[in-house]
Every structure is written in structure tokens, then in C-alpha cells.
Amino acid sequence: MDRMTKEQRSKCMGMIVRKALYKEGFRYLCQPTKVGGKKMPGHPDIVLPKYRTIIEVRGCFWHRHEGCRLATMPATNVEFWTKKFADNVARDKRHEDEWAALGWRVFVVWECALKGGTCKNALQLLTLFVRKFPDWVRCEIGNLNDCGVIVHAHSTMGGGMKGGEL
């Protein structure tokens, strides 16, 4: 098993994103419990108060990136894993709803976007979307099937696909 533990992997991926943000001059909070004196639910990975933006770095396996080659199903204990994954996905959705209700927008960076040759590109797109584009409430960036990084931007929660391939 060459897989890192969940903690190791997300720590490592989160570090890549935090370093890139710092280099670009962003100031951020990591897993804050409060922002501006107000309670922040769900321990988001990275918070950019100035841009009212939350960045979530998600492992494709644990958080079930839909259609992603990294979101495999283990061959044994399928029942256990199915339940575990469903819980993870439900928890992510619940947190996103809570953040949206508080007026935060969410940018999900999937692990596959940070792997291999697309990492730099993904990080550039992330900073571009956060800094230059005010008109989205939810973005996702991933690299499904090694086809290059793709950003999906939504102008409303849960609907209205707006952005596209870059």
C-alpha cells in the first residue's frame, strides 16, 4: 500500500496550495474556528477573509471526486466503504451549505488537479478566479482522466453552470 494516510495526504496537498497563495500575496487563515469574531463552522482548510472565499483541498478518494480515476472503490469491505464515503460526501455538502448561508463562496481544489504536470496551472487558475472574478459562488477544479485542469464555476449554489474549460 503506497497510499499515504488521509491526514498526510491532505496536509501535503494543502501545503502546496498555501505556499502558492502566500507567494501570490494572499493572506489566509488555516482551519479557523472564528473569522472576524464570528463562528466558522466545519473547519475549512483555507479561508481568505478579504475575498470572502473558502478554499477546500479535497482528496479524490476520500471525498469521492465524481468520475475521477482516483476515486476507486476498495475491493473488500465494500459495505463499510460505501457508508464511509457517503458520510464524507454528506458532511462536505452540509459544510458548504453552512458556509453559503454565511455568505462565503467555496473553491474546491481536487487532489487530481495538483498532481503531476497540471499543478502549476491549477494554482494559477485558483488565484485568478479568487482575485479577478467576483462573479461566482462555487468553483471546482480537477483533472479528470488526465485531460488537463478544468474549472467549473457556478454563479449560484447548486446550479447555473457558468464557467467552462480553460
Q: Which is nearer to Zn ion, 70 or 157 (CB)?
A: 70
Q: Per-residue x/- marks for Zn ion, 118-157, CB under 5 A?
A: ------------------------x---------------
| β 150-156/138-142 pair status | antiparallel
Question: At closest approach, how far in Å is the CB of 134 from Zn ion?
Answer: 27
Q: Are 154 and 139 in contact (CB under 8 A)?
A: yes
Residues near Zn ion (CB under 5 A), total: 7
Q: Which is nearer to Zn ion, 112 or 130 (CB)?
A: 112
* Measured distance CA(100)–CA(82) in Å, rounded: 27
- For residue 55, state whether it binds Zn ion (rule: CB under 5 A): no
Return the range that interacts with Zn ion (CB under 5 A); candidates 12-20, 67-75, 86-94, 126-134: 67-75
Q: Are 35 and 3 in contact (CB under 8 A)?
A: no
- For residue 65, state whether it binds Zn ion (rule: CB under 5 A): yes
* Measured distance CA(34)–CA(30) in Å, rounded: 11
* Measured distance CA(125)–CA(58) in Å, rounded: 17
Binding Zn ion by CB under 5 A: which of 112, 114, 130, 141? 112
